[in-house]
Structure 1
Amino acid sequence: MSKIKNIKFITKKYSYKKPFHIANSFATGATNVEVEIETEEGIKGFGEASPSWRVCGETSDSVVSLLNKAKSILNGKDIERYSLIFKEMSSFIFSPSLVTAIEFAVIDALCKKNGIRVWKFLGGNKNEIETDKTVSISSVDDMVTDSIKIKREGFNIIKIKTGENLSKDIEVIEEIYRKTKGLRYIVDANTGYTPKEAICFAKKIYSKGIDISVFEQPVNRYDIESLKLVRFNSPFPVCADESVKTKYDALNLIKKEAVDYINIKLMKSGFSQALSIIELALSSNIKLMIGCMSESSVGINQSVQLACGRGVFDFCDLDSHLLIKEDKIRGDFVQNKNIIRVKP
């Protein structure tokens, strides 16, 4: 047995290297909560919560307020019986980023106890993944300049934020394509378009000979029928992000044939829920992408371990640690340009 004797929450504030602007949202920084779990043997496991008010209604303050409840549930629990801990965490369904941080910290401690890396514990399918890098909403010139810089940095996939101005978005995609031809593109509208705008955007871009690898969350998260309408009228694969937080959301989208891709983000689902969503998608021939909120390298490590362990993600959008000011990488991985490699 290896029982938990203590749990700590540490609040960390980060600034973006430049303001991060997506459809109807603008941020200059993020406040995350690191979680440290310690067992009676002195083994420590680490996780990070990067709460999103926009997507999940969480804040760093709401996460921190749950410390005493977390202690009451976790202290004395055996990390070797981690599935029972995951069941206990279902009472934190309203705080999925904290669920992820705690669940991962438990797995991290368990793997350290048994001398195995987390990615190997989760399946060991890959030892490296490729990430994209994101261009947030700005002027056309600035977005093109950022895209050129990303190409020069060695990235092969650019994620382009859109959703506030249809005509400008079309111009942006055209100009980025012209200056970075040969790369792959993910377009993320973050719920910003109406169904008519989304279909118009996709058909306009297609008519110009530009290929989009994934068209992500084009419409309102709750409007599943419109998401399905866009999917069946778009020449590009359509992905759900904000529309999928739980395994029940994923099942609903799959049953309604509303998407081609699901973007799993640990911060909106929790670690164990993410594992369930993966299995639902694989059993339904739905493709997968893994993304992030505003995690530091501590939080990105959680997604890297999952992505390498399971090896099922067509696209990895794990770049938030590159967009914030952070002194060094603190996860169990190393990064060389667009390639993230887990430690053996």
Structure 2
Amino acid sequence: MSAVTSTRIVLASRPDGEPTEDNFRTETVDLPELSDGQVLLRTVYLSLDPYMRGRMSAAESYAAPVEVGDVMVGGTVSQVMESRNPDVAEGAYVLAYGGWQTHSVADGRSVRVLDPDRAPLSTALGVLGMPGFTAYAGLLKIGRPQAGETVVVAAASGPVGSAVGQIAKIHGARAVGIAGGPEKCAHVRDDLGFDVAIDHRADDFAEQLRDAVPDGIDVYFENVGGPVTAAVVPLLNLYARMPVCGLVAQYNAPSAPEGPDRLPAFMGRVLTKSLTIRGFIQSEFVEEMYDDFERDASQWVAQGLLKYREDVVDGLENAPEAFLGLLHGKNFGKLVVRVAPEE
């Protein structure tokens, strides 16, 4: 095959506080010829996720940062254009980590072949992919919801939060979702089947939340941090569990917030309520739980018990703007960039 040119979006500079489009740069490069075991991929769908904001920073984290000048990272659904790996056929669709670019080269052992007849291909980046597994593993391994308990989740209209509440309902718990705006709250309540949906932008949000959980909160699945968490913590029951998945409200803060130090009061509540607070990265549980997740989530989606919504943006060139909007909650459902058409 002749040389393939890839258009890619790289990290042009590290943001100081909130990122802007100036932190990204578009380039065109020629990809190298394949070595034995490698595959050439055409990106069809690109996943945009909040964790990418952390990768733009050089601060210590659970994964290495994107270096300035390197391609922005991201999960992709890609089609194999050329293969030098006997286990990956040309023309197959695969789940890969191609990043923000139209084409990429990958080790064939690092991709997972997808079945286009099983579910829409884009779901491999959402409800049947990393976000869905994040919800499944964090809720069931750390949250451990029991029938009759109350589970509260922030960012409830997003790909992780929406799955958390629905899985909680499948396990017999009561699901309370927190989302931004009346439209998202209506979706969480009416379409996804949560028992209650509360708008965190409401002036009386804390009071509404208190009224929605008369028996307190047994599991709080943390996605956002900030004022939402401040309203949740006083309502946590004895032995409540808090899986900490993300803190998107704090990702753009250049420094610690001003005001009184609330840590002593928080730690006092951890002690007196015997709280379990556990941060996690979904990859910790892949070996132990991924096969169960694939089986369960596929069945739940087929049965209509696990519903999902996607927010699809067309064109790689629109990825930076869409990503910046994601950090402000402008997306509605799993944010996916359609880089190229399916064939």
* TM class by smaller structure: 0.3 to 0.5
Point out the structure with the larger helix share.
1
The structure showing larger relative contact order (alpha-carbon pairs under 8 Å, at least 6 residues apart) is 1
- When the two structures are superposed, what TM-score results if normalisation uses the length of structure 1? 0.33
Q: Which has more radius of gyration? A: 2
